[in-house]
Structure 1
Amino acid sequence: MKLSVYNEIISLIRTYKTRDALPQIAEQYPGVSLNALGSIYAQEYQKKMRKTHHIHYHTDKMEMYYDLYQSRLQNGQKHILSHMAEEIDLSPALLARIIVERHLSRTQYNGENAPKSFVTQLMKDPSLISDPVLATEVHECVLSDDQYGSLVDSIKHSIGHEYEFKLKYNLDSHGIPYIGEEQMRARGYDKTPDTKLEVPISVDGHIVNWIESKASFGDEYSNKTYLKDQYWSYWNRFGPGMVIYWFGFIDELNCLQDKGIVLRDSFPENIVKLNPLMK
């Protein structure tokens, strides 16, 4: 995807401000899959949450949100937190966590903050929250939030495994020997791509020693982060390699092929096996 097209899609996402509009956007860009649009939307949403996180997590704001929740609760309102999240443009799961933190501080910890691990446990299983009404409100937020929370984390983890399996299936189908992360850790490697090839291959004239699978769209922010935290570390240990962004990437980011980082959006067909014994 060209950067210009990506910027147009981002502009539309910011205009519509809802994931429900993605099918409409897809109609304008027939060459872009819903998976790609969904990933782009999620990345844009997470960027917005990171930029505004400090505002919502200011102590005065958190106290205000909790007081507002209590006020609406006393007025007999329902679905309070989900409506509040929409009003303040905050992730429902993040708002629910704020309310749980304030609730614990006021009811169990004498004004002190509850341990983060305990709050996380309650968010993963709201039935453990002693207040049944709050438990229901939090549960609703977790289920309705398609960007944050333990449920979303589980879904992303599952999708990630699905595409790692797809990568390994392709390697097996092409008869390319490799070792996975667990085997690499067992051998003492501290940085582990999804697969390290036992024998290098060539993709469009570029040597590939390892392959990383990303079940996401490769935008500038995520690719830059991955380069710093993962890809260059793999390059330092294993030499040049390849990253597959299964939901696509910004074309202009594929500028490091000659330096040893190849980007693709699918398993490449133009493979040269360097070992004549590989069939």
Structure 2
Amino acid sequence: MIWVAATLIAATAQTARNAAQAGLTREVGTLGATAVRFVFGFPFAALALVAASAWVPLPTPGLQVIGWAALGALAQIAATAFMLMTMRDKGFGVATALMKTEPVTLALVGALVLAEPLGPARLAAIGLATLGVVLASGASWGRAGWGAVGTGILSGALFGLSALGFRGALLALPDGGHVVRAITVLTITLGLQAAIMLAWLALRDRAALRAIAAQWRISVGAGALGAFASLFWFIGFALTPAANVRTLALVEVVMAQVLSGRVFRQSVRPVQLIGMALILAGVGWLLAVAA
């Protein structure tokens, strides 16, 4: 099950990229830090594509591939904006829990749009793991207004739509193995996102562009980690429905809670322990169903 290994590698690299981006936010602003993952990630994806072309023939993307990739690229940018909006209004815990409803959206929309098998067992496993995330987040739901809930759920739905677009682009490629197809779609996607973010910043926030240029050393590292993580996400999407990949990735929540307890000495409430147990149970159930 190569998709399992690819997903775990992607989740680990994404954690490192998020840490690098968090440090950049203070220097270049939120939009600038968001743009870094695309603008500085694209050259690494392009280099990987050139390297791959020396070994194997590259698939030729048609309009359908471009369309699916554009859907994924735009949805991911919009999802990031709503995520940041939710974090600003109600904090990290609420935003994280609401965004992690993404696998449910993916499973339902994937079944409708891509005719991917759903089944009661698979849907129940995804729902169980998602419920675990809500409990494990430790979010103070009593203070979460409907506005924040709405933007958080919308962010999760858009992240799900972006993953669906990426999988659609991968499936639409006429030939090539899963790795070369992943590199091809990744290069197209990051190219579109880099162009959109550069145009937006040039028109609306030139100060952020200058700040990014001044912090180019850190930005290069964040971009490389981002491209590396995305490559393995795309390999996972090429091999199995995106809902499977995103559900397995929920183990990242458990790892973050364990790290917080051991390194930062943060206490974990009993309800959070129950949530982590539900995540592991849901992921284990999903792997048994998908095997």
TM range (shorter): under 0.3
TM-score (norm 1): 0.26
- The structure showing larger relative contact order (alpha-carbon pairs under 8 Å, at least 6 residues apart) is 2
Q: Looking at CA atoms only, which structure, 1 or 2, has the larger radius of gyration?
A: 1
TM-score (norm 2): 0.25
In terms of fraction of residues, the more helix-rich structure is 2
In terms of fraction of residues, the more strand-rich structure is 1
